[in-house]
Amino acid sequence: MLDDLAWLGINWDGEVRVQSQHLPDYRAALDKLAARGLLYPCFCTRADIQQSAAAPHTPDGAPLYPGTCRALPADETAARIAAGVPHALRLDMQRALRFVPGTLAFEEEGEGTVICHPEQFGDAVLARKDAPASYHLCVTHDDALQGITLVTRGEDLKPATHLHRLLQALMGWPAPRYAHHHLLTDASGRRLAKRDRAATLRELRAVGQTPEQVRELALGIRTS
C-alpha cells in the first residue's frame, strides 16, 4: 500500500503508525472508560443479537444491540469471565451521554456544523477477543496522538463520526475537522471493493497505467 501511494506521488510526514503494535495504548484508553463505569462485558454472540434485536439497525448496518448483558449481576459477569467465556466490551451509550454536557457536533468541509447523534449506534463494541480494540477507538485515539487536524476519508464512514465525537469528548481528545469524499464506483455505480475483485493500483501499474492516468481516473476524468 505504501509503495502504491509513493508511486502515485503521495507523500506522508513521519513514521506510519501500525495499530497492531500499539495495543497497550488502546487498552489504557479502555481502562479509563471502564474506571468511569462506561463499559460492560457482553457475552452475546452475533447469532444471539440477530435473534433478539428488533427491527432498528445501526448506521453501519448491524442490528441495534438490545442491551441484553447491560444489567447482568456483577457476580454472574465475574463468573463468566473467570470461566473464559468469550466477550466483547460495549460502551454504555446512555450513561456515556450523561458525561457529555451540551450538544456534540463536528465540522464538515463544505457543509459546516453537523449535529451528532451517537445514540443511533446503541451500545457500540469497543473491543472483542478477536479485535482487542475497535476501529472506532483506534482511529480517535491515534488522531489525537498524532495531532491530526483534518480527517479525510470516504463518505461511507461519515455516520461513524457521530460515535467518534462522543469518544473524543469522553476522553478529552481534540476534535479535528472532517472531509468525507465520494466513493470510487464502477460504470454501474457500484462501489469499488476488493471483495468484488475491483482492479487494484498494483494491477493498473502492471498493465502500463501511469500515475497521471490513475489520478485522472480517480477524479472521474476520461483519459484520451
Return the pLDDT at 222: 46
pLDDT for 55 equals: 56
Sign of CA dihedral 163, 169, 170, 173: positive
pLDDT of residue 108: 98
SS3 39: strand
Q: What is the pLDDT of residues 61-96, one digit of tens each?
A: 788 899 999 999 999 999 999 999 999 999 999 999
Q: What does the radius of gyration of the chain's CA atoms come to, in whole angstroms?
A: 20
Distance CA 193, CA 176 (A): 27
- The DSSP 8-state label assigned to residue 57 in this structure reads B
State the Cα–Cα distance between residues 117 and 169, nearest whole angstrom. 13
> Under a CB-based contact definition with an 8 Å cutoff, are residues 40 and 70 in contact?
yes
Give the residue extent of every domain in the chain.
2-182
| Pairwise CA distance, residues 175 & 168, whole Å | 7
Task: Please tell me the CATH code under which domain 2-182 is placed.
Answer: 3.40.50.620
pLDDT for res 101: 84
Amino acid (one-letter) located at 43: F
What stretches in the chain show pLDDT beneath 70?
52-55, 221-224
Q: What is the pLDDT of residue 48?
A: 82
The whole-number pLDDT of residue 180 equals: 97
Instruction: Look at residue 224 in the predicted model and tell me its pLDDT.
Output: 42
